[in-house]
Amino acid sequence: MAVKAQAQPMVSDRSSLGTLRQVLAPIGQILIFVIGGSLLLGTIVVMLALALQAGQANLLNGVVSVLPLVIIDGLVLGFLYATIALGYTLVYGVLEFINFAHGEIYMVGAFVGGGLGIWLASQGLLATMHPLIFVVIAVFVAMLASGLLAVGIERFAYRPLRGAPRLVPLISAIGVSLVLQDLVRLIAGPARFNLRYPTLNLGGRIPLFEMSTAAGTNLRVSIDNQSLIFIITSLLMLVALNYLINVTKLGKAIRAVAQDRPTASLMGINVNLIIALTFFVGGALGGGAGVLFGIKYSTVNPYIGFIAGLKAFTAAVLGGIGNITGAMVGGIVLGLLEAFVSTYLTLFTNGRLSGPDYASVASFLILIGILVFRPSGLLGEAATQKV
């Protein structure tokens, strides 16, 4: 498995239309999975509601009325997992190595962005700038910091172990992630353990539509600007990454290293440099995701990276690890699954089982089910053939 080009025509096909198609094709694929996944899961819960309706009054009405909210929740959660998963899949594609410290790189990005926000606010600069400008600056600063951190980790914790058996760098990665957690905890100190992002005035929620519930009240379905920024930015990241991998010379070099390291080296490619750059790109994506998370959920702490990293890794495997679009698709499917389970488990069991408690368990069970039938992931290819 390796980083895969999205379409067969290689870089030689330089027509701008072909490039555009190559770069934008994954968006279509993601859209298919978003709509398909929502429809499929929605149908399942409606069918379940119809089947169980005899036992509970108003069940169908309740199920349908929260459906749009659940889908929005799932998408936001899904894009979070997806952006982090991009970093896992990129590094795996090139080195066939799971960088378990990636979750912590994402956490560091969240702290850098939050620290920058607090510093700007203390200088009085934050009040004068447009919130969107802050978002852009914070994302870029965090991307730079996380990218450099990832390069540093690669240089000191992974490169010396490159010839060792596969499990050795894996242990090293777990060690790095523990060190990073407590290092950030040390630097932040007790007062900033729970770091709160400065409040940004990004405008109110964007109302989508209203619908009536079983209780007879109107439920306002709306999406907030932070979520929109989150989704749009992660789509932009995907497009930029696709462009980088499939169109640029650097991308060509990355793909060459992924295919065959010694041969790439013989072709005059500086393998160490390319691997470092791959880590930089992966780390930068994680850092960007961290800032977006902080802006959306307002509070970060040094331990947010662990669970998020685990889920993102799962998303990458679900989508077919090594495949960039697959990571996004896997993240979205996982996010939707979790949102559906955590809301509907409570509804269907009439409150006896608490959905959020079992969301991880249930969605992982479903994942195991999917992987039994498609071991290489949703978009992965069964053959180990290199591009």
Partner 1 sequence: MKRIASLIMLVVVLAATLAACGAATPAASPAASTGAGAADTTAASPSPSVAATESLTASPLTEASPSTAASPSAMATQAAAAEATPGADATTTVTEDLPNVSGLNLGTVRIAYQGPLSGPQAQFGTTGLNGARLAVEQLGEEMGFQNIEIAQFDDQATESVGAANANTIAADQSIVCVVGHINSGVALAALPTYRDANLVMVSPANTNPRVTEEFDDTAYRLVGRDDVQGVVAADFVQNELNAQNVYVLHDQTAYGEGLATVFRDEMQERGINVSGFAGTQETAVFDAVLTPIQAANPDVIFFGGIYDRGGPFIQQLRERGIEAKVIGGDGLDAPDLAQLGGEAVVGTNYVTVSGPASAYQQAAQFTQDYQAANNTPAAYPAFQGYDSTKACLVAIANAATEANGTPTREQVKAAMEDLETYQGVTGQVTFDDEGDRSPATYYVFEVRSGDPANWGQNEVVGSIEAQPPEE
State the residues that interact with partner 1 by CB under 8 A: 1, 62, 65-66, 69-70, 73, 76-77, 96, 98, 166, 185, 190, 193-194, 196, 199, 205, 213, 215, 217, 219-220, 222, 224, 293, 297-301, 303-304, 310, 313-314, 317, 321, 338-339, 342-343, 346-347, 351, 354-357, 359-361, 364, 367-368, 371, 375-376, 382, 384
User: Which residue lies nearer to partner 1 by CB, 148 or 219?
Assistant: 219
User: Which residue lies nearer to partner 1 by CB, 149 or 359?
Assistant: 359
**Cβ atoms of 209 and 217 closer than 8 Å:** no
User: Which residue lies nearer to partner 1 by CB, 4 or 23?
Assistant: 4
User: Which residue lies nearer to partner 1 by CB, 83 or 342?
Assistant: 342
- Least Å from the CB of residue 301 to partner 1: 6
* Dihedral (CA of 130, 132, 134, 140) sign: negative
- Least Å from the CB of residue 342 to partner 1: 4
- Least Å from the CB of residue 205 to partner 1: 6
Tokens found for residue 367: 């994942």
**Cβ atoms of 211 and 218 closer than 8 Å:** yes
**Cβ atoms of 146 and 108 closer than 8 Å:** yes
Tokens found for residue 357: 């408690």
Tokens found for residue 274: 């390319």
User: Which residue lies nearer to partner 1 by CB, 243 or 364?
Assistant: 364
- Least Å from the CB of residue 221 to partner 1: 9
Amino acid making up residue 341: V
- Least Å from the CB of residue 286 to partner 1: 16
Integer-rounded Cα Rg, in Å, for the chain is 22
**Cβ atoms of 26 and 325 closer than 8 Å:** yes
Reported in sequence order, the residue ranges of 253-343 that DSSP labels E, i.e. its strands, are 299-300
User: Which residue lies nearer to partner 1 by CB, 272 or 360?
Assistant: 360
Distance CA 368, CA 375 (A): 9
Distance CA 135, CA 202 (A): 10
**Cβ atoms of 242 and 324 closer than 8 Å:** yes
